[in-house]
Structure 1
Amino acid sequence: MTVSPSTLDELRLKIDALDSQLVELLAQRAKLTAQVGQYKSQVGLPIYVPEREAQLITKRRQQALERGVSPVLVEDLLRRIMRESYHTQNVTYLCTNPELKKIVVVGGAGALGRIFVDMFKRSGYPVCVMEQRDWTNATEIFKDAGLVMVAVPIKITESIIAKLDHLPADCVLVDITSTKQKPLNAMLKAHIGPVLGLHPMFGPDVSSLVKQVVVVCHGRDEDKYQWLLQQIRIWGAMVQVVDAQEHDDAMVFIQVMRHFCSFVFGAHLAGENPNLKQLISLSSPIYRLELAMVGRLFAQDPALYADIIFDNQGSVSLLSKFNQQFLKALALVEGNNKGEFIKQFLKIGSWFGDYSKQSLIDSKKLLLKADDDRTWSE
């Protein structure tokens, strides 16, 4: 079929009309999901229900196959649409402990503290934010508190907790620091009542708690703070329970090593001073993503990352071992020992097992998104 300029114009008009219909359908869907959110808030259902999401995607993928449409395309669209719908649902939430008289968030004006202050308020709790200037009125502020959350920098967390030795006996004391063993021990020492350690595995730039992980390290009187864990689930977050020491050991790999490597990579780039714009323009999507993860680090609070790296007891030991491994790998290159490199490569791949294959699949989705976002102005 030969397409003339006039025919092309007609086809484009039809595509524009369909795109306009898509926008209208999205608007209608948003209204429906807002109503769903209102119902969930009334009865206390979690915003995020994994089973429902999986069922919906499976059905639409099958429908796409039957209509000759790429199921991958349909799933990508649905996941993006559902992510937006979760945000339209999270206006208010059911309060799981309406009898609670007061929540005090120490450091609630900070970046991460503000998130919890906002979520508590949207769940109907009376919330009081306490900052350094308020300590002279501490007795009155903590009076009748049912929950005190410590949301201050790592370096002062233990000293702040030590001041909380006159809380109401039934008050739940909780921290949200990225290290857990030391703060948990400090809370158990300072307070005779319920104690809980939390580590929100997200930064202050998240738009909602849907699908975010909150690590839970039990302290004392678990039954007294189950309402809080249920509240977090209602917000859409996923609760992951782990021992405090196991948490800290894992964070050396998850946070310390990763952030330290990004720091060193960034430091080396800054020292060599290559043309950054040229590096970006010449990079394939995977390298642009890797470079973006390094650059992202230096757009955030340096004190926060200094605390994460320096205050974990296992940092020096693990980073020293990593340095030794780096030097061993460098020796292979210096000795032009490709055979040993390949041998080790295969051994490491065997350790990762099926996860490496799944990572290849998952990363392709990220790469497609990165490619879509690329512009010539870069």
Structure 2
Amino acid sequence: MTDPQTQLETLRGQIDELDQQLVDLLAKRAAVTTQVGIIKSQTGMPTYVPEREAQLIASRRAQAQQQGVPPDLVEDLLRRIMRESYLTQNVQYRCATLPGTKVAVIGGRGALGKLIVSLFERSHYDVIVIDQTEWPQAKAMLAGVKLCIVAVPIKQTIDIINTLDYLDDDCVLADVTSIKQAPLDAMLAVHKGPVVGLHPMFGPDAPGMVKQVVIICHGRQNEQYQWFLEQMITWGAQLTVSNASEHDADMAYIQVMRHFTSFVYGAHLHAEDPDLSSLIAHSSPIYRLELAMVGRLFAQDPNLYADIIFNNTENLALLKRFRTRFDEAIHLFETNDKAQFIEQFTQISKWFGDYAKTCLVDSKQLLLKADDDRMLRKK
């Protein structure tokens, strides 16, 4: 009878062999998804098809259940594999209109502008990039352009839009600013042709638009820019329509409050000056994730977040109301009113409803992933 160490080495050898087979299968799958991408680029089929992805995951979960493998494990693996497969398809795209159509991106050398330029170039458009160095020639460069996208910082957006009164009447004028009412009003005032406001809900570090949300605020002559919307769908974007005022109201919560509270939390940590490495070493997975969201803010351009927070004076009233509620919560602590705390907690829980339970389930997956990554970094 072999000793336990020998048995262990034999089993480890079997695991290594199976892992090698797994890598081989992933390589074969990547080759197939690359071919899928080629076909989609030739036909204009969207890169991301939610129904297909849902059906695939459901089928594999059922198979896993039958074979005694945790379905959640299989789904986790599949989602990671599929995310990688979208990258293999993110090479070339079919043009949704006539190839060679002239598209201009003002601010096309900025972080988000570069991504937009890259997507259009890979879709066989004639792309014109206009930044500060080209601005004196902008009028001549924009002649004959069918789509002009303004992708500059918030504080410059309105001023840039107000100069574009010379665009051809059939040119689509669009912006990608994180606020929508003021830019949309400016575009409608300065341009007689089709107008649309966009807000890509992702950062410039995204590899493309696959599975990314883009908010659409219609302006004028919607039918004239359907090809542009179809192009974004081909890129894999998920389009959602909103009116400009509702969009800006939502962004006050989604962006302004989130970024501002992260800023204040970071400022508080900076002033208190705890040992950051000790906090990280002693933290739970949920706190590490929260700390990562705060730390992430301070690894980026402060001008961007200053523009987002300071762009609308109405945001100040919202933040002051938040401060009032923070003070009210502090008062509960000062008076040791646990009963009122629990009562408010229960009311808030009811307001969130079933979404709170969904958040609990989803966050567990995020925490497990974050914990796995932390253990790997320790090694």
**TM-score computed with the length of structure 2 as normaliser:** 0.98
Q: Which residue of 2 aligns with 1:111?
A: 111
Residue 281 (structure 2) pairs with residue 274 (structure 1): no
Q: Deviations over 1:306-332 (max 9, x none)?
A: 000000242111001000000000000
Mark the runs of 5 or more structure 2 residues left unpaired by the alignment.
none
Q: Is the contact made by 1:202 and 1:213 (CA closer than 8 Å) also made in structure 2?
A: yes
**CA 1:13–1:99 in structure 2 vs 1: closer, same or farther (change >3 Å)?**
closer
Q: Which residue of 2 aligns with 1:283?
A: 283
Q: Residue 101 of structure 1: CA displacement?
A: 3.3
Q: Deviations over 1:160-187 (max 9, x none)?
A: 0001000011000000000000000000
Q: Partners of 2:141 and 2:302 in 1: how far apart?
A: 31
Q: Deviations over 1:47-100 (max 9, x none)?
A: 110100010011111111111111010000000000000110111001001166
Q: Which residue of 2 aligns with 1:127?
A: 127
Q: Any idea what SS the aligned residue of 1:373 has?
A: helix
Q: Residue 225 of structure 1: CA displacement?
A: 0.2
Q: Deviations over 1:217-276 (max 9, x none)?
A: 000000000000010011011001000000000000000000000000000000000000
Q: Residue 7 of structure 1: CA displacement?
A: 1.3
Q: Partners of 1:211 and 1:3 in 2: how far apart?
A: 52
Q: Is the contact made by 1:252 and 1:312 (CA closer than 8 Å) also made in structure 2?
A: no
One-letter code of the match for 2:41?
S
Q: Which residue of 2 aligns with 1:350?
A: 350
Q: Partners of 2:282 and 2:101 in 1: how far apart?
A: 58
**TM-score computed with the length of structure 1 as normaliser:** 0.98
Q: Is the contact made by 2:262 and 2:297 (CA closer than 8 Å) also made in structure 1?
A: yes
Q: Which residue of 1 aligns with 2:238?
A: 238
Q: Which residue of 2 aligns with 1:224?
A: 224
Q: Partners of 1:197 and 1:9 in 2: how far apart?
A: 61
Q: Partners of 1:139 and 1:78 in 2: how far apart?
A: 49
Q: Residue 138 of structure 1: CA displacement?
A: 1.7
Cα RMSD between the aligned structures? Answer: 1.2
- Deviating above 6 A after TM superposition, structure 1's stretches of 4 or more consecutive aligned residues are none
Q: Is the contact made by 1:103 and 1:127 (CA closer than 8 Å) also made in structure 2?
A: yes
Question: Where does 1:144-183 land on structure 2 (aligned, <5 Å)?
Answer: 144-183=144-183
Q: Partners of 2:373 and 2:156 in 1: how far apart?
A: 41
Q: Deviations over 1:286-305 (max 9, x none)?
A: 10000000000000000000
Q: Partners of 2:3 and 2:258 in 1: how far apart?
A: 54
Q: Partners of 2:66 and 2:110 in 1: how far apart?
A: 51
Q: Partners of 1:17 and 1:167 in 2: how far apart?
A: 63
Q: Which residue of 1 aligns with 2:303?
A: 303
Q: Partners of 1:55 and 1:137 in 2: how far apart?
A: 51
Q: Is the contact made by 2:119 and 2:208 (CA closer than 8 Å) also made in structure 1?
A: no
Of residues 321-330 and 138-147 in structure 1, the stretch that sits farther from structure 2 once superposed is: 138-147
Q: Residue 139 of structure 1: CA displacement?
A: 2.1
Q: Is the contact made by 2:99 and 2:125 (CA closer than 8 Å) also made in structure 1?
A: no
Q: Partners of 1:3 and 1:251 in 2: how far apart?
A: 64
Q: Residue 4 of structure 1: CA displacement?
A: 1.6
Q: Any idea what SS the aligned residue of 1:8 has?
A: helix
Q: Partners of 1:140 and 1:165 in 2: how far apart?
A: 13
Q: Partners of 1:124 and 1:377 in 2: how far apart?
A: 45
One-letter code of the match for 1:148?
C
Q: Percent same amino acid among aligned pairs?
A: 59
Of residues 90-99 and 123-132 in structure 1, the stretch that sits farther from structure 2 once superposed is: 90-99
Question: Where does 1:1-378 land on structure 2 (aligned, <5 Å)?
Answer: 4-98=4-98, 101-375=101-375, 377=378
One-letter code of the match for 2:271?
G
Q: Is the contact made by 1:249 and 1:314 (CA closer than 8 Å) also made in structure 2?
A: no
**CA 1:331–1:377 in structure 2 vs 1: closer, same or farther (change >3 Å)?**
same
One-letter code of the match for 1:260?
F
Q: Residue 208 of structure 1: CA displacement?
A: 2.3
Q: Any idea what SS the aligned residue of 1:193 has?
A: coil
Aligned positions, number: 378
Q: Is the contact made by 1:103 and 1:125 (CA closer than 8 Å) also made in structure 2?
A: yes
Q: Is the contact made by 1:101 and 1:144 (CA closer than 8 Å) also made in structure 2?
A: no
Q: Partners of 1:143 and 1:100 in 2: how far apart?
A: 15
Q: Is the contact made by 2:151 and 2:176 (CA closer than 8 Å) also made in structure 1?
A: yes
